[in-house]
């Protein structure tokens, strides 16, 4: 199977995926990196790993769907079977989600359904939670709502700062996401309604 990673920024999850591929922890092929920001380090990481990438500038399109239609053209050309969102900071249009229904994975830095949205780590820290974590889920039209594939928790200590909590969360993401990607690539995931079955 071929998959694409969509990224917008630093690309630390992309790097974790690249590293897992090199160690044969993900048994499939990363065929394309899609990025929406020309200054994103994710593009540099893709180039260093000799993975094809494409930059799609959102300002060239009047709406989300036209941006997504352009992305789909590149995905079809690369014969992409499924999508992995890794710090991609755009909300996908219903058109895109229908085009790859059940084939889009996302990672979120909280134990969903708690702390949805773009500032989950900050929000969890501000609420002084004792436990938080990471969720890998399928993407649906409702934000941060799709069926949950994997979750793992971690304790928040009284000594944690926002920066130290972010570091712990990212470390957990880098461990959990490659595992979920490999499960999907090997056909071990299925879901009905909200229930995901791992075979």
Residue-level pLDDT at 109 = 98
pLDDT tens-digit map of 11-69: 999 999 999 999 999 999 999 999 999 999 999 999 999 999 999 999 999 999 999 99
Q: Looking at the domain covering 2-198, what would its CATH class be?
A: alpha beta
| Average pLDDT of the segment spanning 123-127 | 98
Tell me the domain boundaries of the chain.
2-198
Active site residue 74: no
pLDDT band at 122 (very low <50, low <70, confident <90, very high): very high
pLDDT of res. 50 = 98
Q: Specify the pTM.
A: 0.95
Query: Do residues 139 and 105 touch, judged by C-beta distance below 8 A?
Result: yes
Spatial neighbors of 121 by CB under 8 A, at least 6 apart, are: 109, 110, 132, 162, 165, 166, 169
pLDDT score for 113 = 97
**pLDDT tens by residue, 100-117:** 999 999 999 999 999 999
Token pair belonging to 172? 């957990």
Q: What is the mean pLDDT of residues 67-87?
A: 98
Q: Sorting pLDDT into bands at 50, 70 and 90, what band is 137?
A: very high
Q: How confident is the model at residue 94 (pLDDT cuts 50, 70, 90)?
A: very high
Confidence of residue 145 (pLDDT cuts 50, 70, 90): very high
Task: Given the residues 74, 108, 119, 145, select the one marked as catalytic.
Answer: 108
pLDDT at 45: 98
């Amino acid at each position: 199977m071929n998959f694409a990673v969509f990224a917008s920024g630093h690309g630390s999850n992309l790097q974790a995926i690249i590293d897992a591929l090199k160690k044969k922890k993900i048994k499939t092929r990363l065929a394309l990196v899609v990025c929406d920001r020309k200054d994103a380090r994710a593009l540099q990481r893709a180039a260093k790993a000799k993975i094809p990438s494409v930059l799609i500038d959102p300002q060239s399109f009047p709406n989300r769907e036209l941006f997504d239609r352009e992305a789909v053209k590149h995905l079809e050309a690369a014969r992409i079977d499924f999508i992995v969102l890794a710090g991609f900071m755009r909300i996908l249009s219903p058109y895109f989600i229908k085009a790859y229904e059940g084939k889009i994975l996302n990672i979120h830095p909280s134990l969903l359904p708690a702390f949805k949205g773009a500032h989950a780590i900050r929000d969890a820290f501000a609420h002084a939670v004792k436990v938080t974590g990471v969720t890998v889920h399928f993407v649906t039209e409702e934000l941060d709502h799709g069926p949950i594939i994997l979750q793992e928790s971690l304790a928040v200590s009284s000594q944690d700062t926002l920066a130290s909590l972010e570091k712990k969360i990212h470390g957990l993401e880098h461990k959990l996401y490659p595992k979920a990607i490999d499960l999907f690539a090997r056909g071990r995931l299925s879901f009905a309604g909200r229930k995901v079955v791992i075979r």
